A and B are shown apart, each in its own frame.
Chain A
């Protein structure tokens, strides 16, 4: 079974600074997708970024980028120029290439301070 591990229960970053959230996963599949989701206090799940495993290039969405290390099974999220609105729970998630089920990590709560 696939597992997703987020080893940082909480992180804090100052506004305008950069923070990196860690995620590792375990799988024997070669075809899969990785995701970072944001869950603000409203609890609405918001897709932040997606990475296809077959792509070597790291995904980027504005201030959000990932460092995808396939051999190490690592998928970290970097948030640049942090904003107060980035404060939320962040979940790393895995999906196999053959099924559409998402497996979520335990989450990292990100605080953004002034």
Chain B
């Protein structure tokens, strides 16, 4: 149980285009979903927290107009990187939570912007 999927697992796009990443909780309803960014050989940095049906809460320094987060249902959250640029290339990981102290992580999405 407690499986979280992400799609796509890998995406390459041209500079200036937008990319959408989906995060789904497959066998449970997630009241809260989180989006993290991980640079090579670095730690996970929380980008934003989203609760179903409400606006996401972004961490300091994260541009909310650049990284659009939608949490339309209890099993789906999406992260859209708008007008992507090479510096947005990274590994993006989502997690989903039912209980406050438990987060289940997705397998991550590798984004490469050319």
Contacts and interface: CB of A to CB of B under 8 A. Distances in A.
Interface of A: 33, 42-46, 50, 52, 91, 95, 99-107
Q: Is the interface of B mostly helix, strand, loop or mixed?
A: strand
A40 to B, nearest CB: 11
Interface in B39-80: 42-46, 49
Given A43-B91, A45-B93, A50-B101, A91 B43 contact: yes
Contacts of B44: 45, 91, 102, 104
Interface of B: 32, 34, 38, 42-46, 49, 91, 93, 95, 97, 100-101, 103, 105, 107-108
Contacts of A101: 34, 46, 49
A45 B105 contact: yes
B107 A102 contact: no
B43 A107 contact: yes
Given A43-B107, A45-B93, A105 B43 contact: yes
A100 B97 contact: yes
Nearest to A1: B60
A50 B101 CA distance: 9
